């Protein structure tokens, strides 16, 4: 249940959840999920847009900062405080493909 992807989209759903759209750097290397669902998205969730995330079956990281905890295969609980640290440090970098 590992993940290595860039957050390429965020959709806020009618049920109060949010869906992160993910793109893996090399689909032939690792299939992975194409999205993760955030049950209680913090207001600053957009900080993840264009950033690389990675992790295993329990923790999701952005750079060296733990931004969330997995809840099952596609669920994620995200920390607003951790996202502010990502923003302040530039962790996870901006994806050049989104800057075109």
Summarize pLDDT for 14-43 with one digit per residue, the tens.
999 999 999 987 765 555 789 999 999 999
pLDDT-flagged residues of the chain (< 70): 1, 27-31, 94-100
Q: Answer for the pair 5, 22: CB distance below 8 angstroms, yes or no.
A: yes
Q: Where are the domains of the chain?
A: 3-93
pTM: 0.86
């Amino acid at each position: 249940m590992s993940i290595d992807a860039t957050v390429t989209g965020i959709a806020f759903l009618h049920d109060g959840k949010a869906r992160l759209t993910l793109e893996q750097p090399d689909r032939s290397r690792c299939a992975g999920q194409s999205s993760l669902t955030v049950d209680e998205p913090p207001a600053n969730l957009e900080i993840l847009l264009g950033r690389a995330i990675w992790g295993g079956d329990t923790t999701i990281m952005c750079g060296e900062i733990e931004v969330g905890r997995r809840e099952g295969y596609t669920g994620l609980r995200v920390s607003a405080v951790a996202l502010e640290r990502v923003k302040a440090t530039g962790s996870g970098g901006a994806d050049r493909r989104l800057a075109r």
